[in-house]
Amino acid sequence: MNNTTLRRSNITREKVAMMEALTRYNREHQDDDFYRKQSKDKELDALWQSFGVKQQKSEKAPQVYFVTGLIAGVIVTLLITTFVSLLINISTPKDDVVVPAKKVSTGTGKFTFIPADTSSAKTTPAPVLSNEEYVVKEGDTLESIVIRFYGSFDMNKVNMIQDANKMANPNALSIGQKLIIPMNQ
């Protein structure tokens, strides 16, 4: 170090000499420590092997765990869906047939519901329903009207309504237009 640096840092020459001697000692003995450490490592390895401790097996690759988890997940999902479908099949009655109530029109414009009689239903044919009249409202389409009256969409029903009302374009409905809905089928 420079003399000016020593004066500024308030380090005595004795301390500087001691630091220089320490760095020289470390440089000289650095190689010796390296060889000593290696020989100690070899001795410890030999002692460890003679101690009888077996080395642990190497860990399995993450792909093995992924594939195992995937297969287990598929099997569990299949078991759950099978169990749920069996529960649904057991709890659903198959022999019970629900017969909807029939509408009978009266002169007052009200509907009365008559429960179905199984003995009379077999002997007498079902009465033929007459046509109904519907007034088109905002947002109505011919498809929505078919679903409203027949329960599901059927192109044959759309054609029947078109024929009954002599419509050329099924998309040309106007609000307030009266439509005849055939209920024969």
The predicted pLDDT at position 168 comes to: 85
Q: Which residues, at least 6 apart from 185, have a Cβ–Cβ distance to it below 8 Å?
A: 160
The tens-digit pLDDT sequence of the chain (185 residues) is 556 565 556 667 888 888 888 888 877 776 665 555 566 666 667 666 666 555 566 667 888 899 999 999 999 999 999 999 888 888 766 555 555 555 555 555 566 666 666 665 455 555 556 788 899 998 888 888 889 888 888 888 888 888 888 888 888 888 898 988 988 75
3-state secondary structure of 124: coil
pTM above 0.85, yes or no: no
The predicted pLDDT at position 28 comes to: 76
The predicted pLDDT at position 10 comes to: 67
The predicted pLDDT at position 57 comes to: 62
CA distance 155 to 123: 33
Q: For residue 149, which of 133, 163, 162 has the smallest C-alpha distance?
A: 133
CATH of 102-181, one of 3.40.50.1100, 3.40.1190.20, 3.10.350.10, 3.40.50.10860: 3.10.350.10
Counting every residue written for the chain, the total comes to 185
The predicted pLDDT at position 131 comes to: 81
The predicted pLDDT at position 12 comes to: 77
The predicted pLDDT at position 130 comes to: 75
Phi, psi of 97, rounded to the nearest 5 degrees: -110, 125
Q: For residue 182, which of 103, 129, 127, 144 has the smallest C-alpha distance?
A: 129
Contact 146/158 with Cβ under 8 angstroms?
yes
Domain residue limits, the chain = 3-48, 63-95, 102-181
* DSSP summary character for residue 94: S
The predicted pLDDT at position 22 comes to: 83
